[in-house]
Amino acid sequence: MRRIISILMENEPGALSRVIGLFSQRGYNIESLSVAPTEDSTLSRLTLTTFGNDLKIEQITKHLNKLIEVVKLVDLTEGAHIERELMLIKVKATGAQRAEVKRSVDIFRGQIVDVTSTVYTIQLTGASDKLDAFIGAIGETQVLEVVRSGVSGISRGEKVLSL
Amino acid sequence: MEMLSGAEMVVRALQDEGVEYIFGYPGGSVLHIYDALFQQDKVSHILVRHEQAATHAADGYARATGKPGVVMVTSGPGATNAITGLATAFMDSIPMIVLSGQVRSDWIGDDAFQETDMIGVSRPVVKHSFMVRDAKDIPEIMKKAFYIATTGRPGPVLIDIPKDQTAPNVKNPYEYPKKVKMRSYAPVSRGHSGQIRKAVEELMKAKRPVIYAGGGVIQGEGSELLTKLAHRLNFPVTNTLMGLGCFPGTDPQNVGMLGMHGTYEANMTMHSSDVILAVGARLDDRVTNNVKKFCPGAKIIHIDIDPATISKNIMAHIPIVGPVHQVLEEMLSALDEHGGEPDQKALERWWEEIEGWRKVHGMRYETNENGPMKPQQVVEALYKATGGDAYVTSDVGQHQMFAAQYYKYDKPRRWINSGGLGTMGFGLPAAMGVQFAFPDATVACVTGEGSIQMNIQELSTCLQYGLPVKIININNQALGMVRQWQDMQYGGRHSQSYMESLPDFVALAEAYGHVGMKVTKFEDLEGAMNEAFALKDRLVFMDIYVDPTEHVYPMQIADGSMRDMWLSKTERT
């Protein structure tokens, strides 16, 4: 099962490599990863997506918690949450395709952020499966380049991951 | 406030931590620190002959005393030579501080002479690591390092120190922190009371209970309480390789070591149990055999300081995360409150069954009057010669298993071996560390002709510091454990497990300035042992020739359950 683990950790050199190292060392898989400092510059927020059954995820979270620089973490998929990913995608836009791509962008509520006579550069945000669906709708043969930010996530309601 | 250079701060912090010994080897990047060490006499530096030995010596010191071992190495090769020792300590949860030199800060990343990314290289085998980026931070980093290494599940901590941060001409105010507070590190200080009460209920209901105690009991200073609990309940106790000594080896309730080379009765008791009280143990693959067939009827109560250990390999029914000492204490008072007693009739039947297994004499070996000596006889003779009261360190292989099986450890911290990583070359330097901690104690290093050669250069260190370690070299002229597996699983094809040209160990010991003895006949063994141990202030290297064809039994059959064992070359369960 796909999980989104969100980690609050010390914003220190070497902290990120410990998190990444843990995954490779113990044979866990990271599907996506995004990290940036928070409003408190001493803390970074790291979100990663991984796959595993309950037992494996329990081990992952226990081992992450053991890392000295990890302050707190939450498995967002355990509760209601909001998941977002940003995608920048370049697609061929010529002939009849040009209008078709534009329509798809509108349907998916994306934005065309750069245009040439043959190419559209599109910005799209949403849950990862929405981004997957957009690529599916455009057709892989039309796609020239894809850049995805990795998942960011936050709990719904009043639940907060902070100190 | 006192103004000190970075180098002086490092040394002063070691003093403030009460460090007696630091094991190390100098080199370019740590010269400032060595100069600061030279100008004081509170911390004694022990010069080893190889950095790996420094880590094992510090490790042996830590295992024997419970205090953290401290190591200093230079950058590059000095640091990478310490990796095996870090990994050894990490696997067995031993508190250790390794100070490694690093090239100057502005050269980092330039592939400078003797530069290695030590933080990166060591990352998977340390509990934590620090890089000194500003000499001002040294007191706080040192305090944190000792705190992290010795609390929670202990482990090694590395401090990487670029040379410029120890420069003698740059002085900063020094004050050693009294306390350390880290928002991201708070080891568990108490086990959950509700869980402890639940465990007590389960223990009261048990008809076929067993206490399975590991190295965590020793590390967590829980040996006395565990012994009290076991006596109070009259439950059988089995120890892991790391746990030997946490419950007296000669106690009638002790059914011996369990696992791959555990006793027949220990493995049968585990397999047939209905409640297992696992304390400070990891349920690792050398114990469980095939996890799917592990103790099918047992409910598992698992006490450990490390939550990640619980339910990692085997699901625990009642997990209790907490310090072994505190949990056992609370468990004893919960027993008082409960007021009940375990089912005596069931226990009586259970002990009858266990006594029946004991009669099988799983740990037996055949002696041959005119043939070569058996390795087991050597360990038995050692036990006798030392009155069972020595510190015994070991290397890795058959001799390690024989020393675990045939020497009865009645006290914790007496049996010192690399259980988790299985590091050959551990025994001699570890024995040095123990001897430094207890100069008057009898320290024996049980080793083999393969393992001893992995850190043989330390004979020189032993001479320099007058360490009267007794080396019991169980010489079977082969890498015995490898050979055993080749006999059992590879059709007897002894691929690379025989050493064609062994040194004359007696001459070698003498060349290093020690006493050497060669023993080839059983009838000479006891006399030689007594002679060796009578030489109180000399290192004696006993080269004892034994039967090269001997195997370690019992041996669990791969992929089976705990009760599936070979009992000899021809009998199996």
DSSP-H helix ranges across B237-343: 264-272, 285-288, 324-338
Strand partners, B340: none
**pLDDT mean over B127-155:** 98
Helix (H) or strand (E) holding A18: helix A15-25
> Does the structure show a pLDDT above 90 at B498?
no
* Encoded tokens for B33: 């620190």
Helices B522-534 and B375-385 sit at what angle, rounded to 10 degrees? 40
Q: Of A91, A88, A82, nearest to A149 (Cα)?
A: A88
Provide, rounded to the nearest whole percent, the portion of chain A with pLDDT above 90: 91
Residue B404, pLDDT score: 97
Please check whether residue A16 touches B, CB under 8 A: no
Chain B from 166 to 195: CB within 8 A of any A CB: 182-185
CA distance linking residue B449 with residue B454, whole number of Å: 9
> Does the structure show a pLDDT above 90 at B137?
yes
CA distance linking residue A60 with residue A20, whole number of Å: 12
Exposed, middle or buried, B194 (CB in 10 Å: 0-12/13-18/19+)? Answer: exposed
Please check whether residue B371 touches A, CB under 8 A: no
Q: Name the active-site residue from B113, B175, B359, B499.
A: B113
Nearest to A163 among B129, B183, B185 (CB): B183
Q: Looking at domain A2-79, which of 3.30.70.260, 3.30.930.10, 3.40.50.300, 3.30.365.10 is its CATH number?
A: 3.30.70.260
* Residue contact B120–A17, C-beta within 8 A: yes
> Does the structure show a pLDDT above 90 at B424?
yes
Amino acid identity at B333: S
- Asked whether B169 and B178 are in contact (CB, 8 A), the reply is no
Residues 6+ apart with CB under 8 A from B270: B210, B212, B238, B258, B276, B295, B298, B562
- Asked whether B214 and B240 are in contact (CB, 8 A), the reply is yes
CA distance linking residue B106 with residue B137, whole number of Å: 18
The domain made up of B2-174 has a fold known as Rossmann fold (3.40.50)
Could you give the residue range(s) of every CATH 3.40.50.1220 domain in chain B?
193-359
* Residue contact A68–B185, C-beta within 8 A: yes
Residue B433, pLDDT score: 98
Give residue A153's pLDDT band: very low, low, confident or very high (50, 70, 90): very high
Residue A141, pLDDT score: 85
The mean of the pLDDT values for chain B is 96
Residue B361, pLDDT score: 82
Residue A107, pLDDT score: 97
Q: Name the active-site residue from B20, B67, B114, B205.
A: B114
The domain made up of A82-152 has a fold known as Alpha-Beta Plaits (3.30.70)
**Tokens 């047992």 label which residue?**
B298
- Asked whether B542 and B506 are in contact (CB, 8 A), the reply is no
Exposed, middle or buried, B83 (CB in 10 Å: 0-12/13-18/19+)? Answer: buried
Pairing relationship of beta strands B209-213 and B237-239 according to DSSP bridges = parallel
Amino acid identity at B49: R
Q: Is B526 a catalytic residue?
A: no
**Tokens 């990795």 label which residue?**
A150
Chain A from 88 to 107: CB within 8 A of any B CB: none
- Render pLDDT for B261-272 as a digit per residue (tens, 0 to 9): 999 999 999 999
A77 min Cα distance to partner chain B (Å): 21
Query: Diameter of chain A by CA atoms?
Result: 57
Helix (H) or strand (E) holding B346: helix B344-359
CA distance linking residue B312 with residue B297, whole number of Å: 19
Q: B151: alpha, beta or left, given left = phi > 0 and alpha = psi -120 to 50?
A: beta
Pairing relationship of beta strands A81-92 and A143-148 according to DSSP bridges = antiparallel
> Does the structure show a pLDDT above 90 at B364?
no
Size of interface A-B (CB pairs under 8 A): 35
* Cα of B394 vs its chain's centroid, Å: 9
Residue B340, pLDDT score: 87
Amino acid identity at B165: Q
Q: By three-state DSSP, how is residue B165 classified? A: helix
* Encoded tokens for B71: 């190591």
Residue B369, pLDDT score: 81
CA distance linking residue B351 with residue B368, whole number of Å: 34
The mean of the pLDDT values for chain A is 95
The domain made up of B375-552 has a fold known as Rossmann fold (3.40.50)
**pLDDT mean over B335-351:** 94
**Tokens 């250990």 label which residue?**
B309
Please give the span between the terminal C-alpha atoms of chain B, in angstroms, as a whole number. 71
* Residue contact A70–B184, C-beta within 8 A: yes
Task: Give CA separation, B210 vs B206, B264, B269, B295, in Å.
Answer: 9, 14, 7, 11
Q: Chain B interface, mutation test: which of A66, A161, A162, most B Cβ atoms within 10 Å?
A: A66
Phi, psi of B537 (to 5 degrees): -110, 20
Residue B1, pLDDT score: 86
Helices A128-138 and A96-107 sit at what angle, rounded to 10 degrees? 160
Please check whether residue A42 touches B, CB under 8 A: no
Give residue A118's pLDDT band: very low, low, confident or very high (50, 70, 90): very high
Q: Is B562 a catalytic residue?
A: no
Q: Name the active-site residue from B127, B143, B144, B163.
A: B163
Pairing relationship of beta strands B171-174 and B2-5 according to DSSP bridges = antiparallel
**pLDDT mean over B445-451:** 97
Going B124 to B128 to B134 to B138, the CA torsion angle's sign is negative
Please check whether residue A29 touches B, CB under 8 A: no
Q: By three-state DSSP, how is residue B82 classified? A: coil
Task: Annotate B167-191 with DSSP letters as a single string.
Answer: -TT-EEEE---S----TT-----S-
Q: Any idea what the Cα angle at residue B447 is, between residues B443 and B451, rounded to 5°?
A: 130
* Residue contact A69–B184, C-beta within 8 A: yes
Q: Of B1, B353, B39, B321, nearest to B168 (Cα)?
A: B39
> Does the structure show a pLDDT above 90 at B563?
yes
> Does the structure show a pLDDT above 90 at B62?
yes
Q: Is B38 a catalytic residue?
A: no
- Asked whether B535 and B529 are in contact (CB, 8 A), the reply is no
Give residue A45's pLDDT band: very low, low, confident or very high (50, 70, 90): very high
- Topology match between the domains A2-79 and A82-152: yes
- Render pLDDT for B187-203 as a digit per residue (tens, 0 to 9): 999 999 999 999 999 99
* Residue contact A21–B307, C-beta within 8 A: no
Residue B530, pLDDT score: 97
Domain boundaries in chain A?
2-79, 82-152
Q: Is B163 a catalytic residue?
A: yes
Residue B552, pLDDT score: 96
Helices (H) and strands (E) in chain B, counts: 21, 22
Could you give the residue range(s) of every CATH 3.40.50.970 domain in chain B?
2-174, 375-552
> Does the structure show a pLDDT above 90 at B554?
yes
Nearest to B308 among A18, A63, A71 (CB): A63
- State whether CATH 3.40.640.10 applies to domain B193-359: no
> Does the structure show a pLDDT above 90 at B447?
yes
- Render pLDDT for B6-56 as a digit per residue (tens, 0 to 9): 999 999 999 999 999 999 999 999 999 999 999 999 999 999 999 999 999
Q: Of B348, B287, A52, nearest to B300 (Cα)?
A: B287
> Does the structure show a pLDDT above 90 at A163?
no
Q: Of B55, B14, B63, nearest to B34 (Cα)?
A: B14
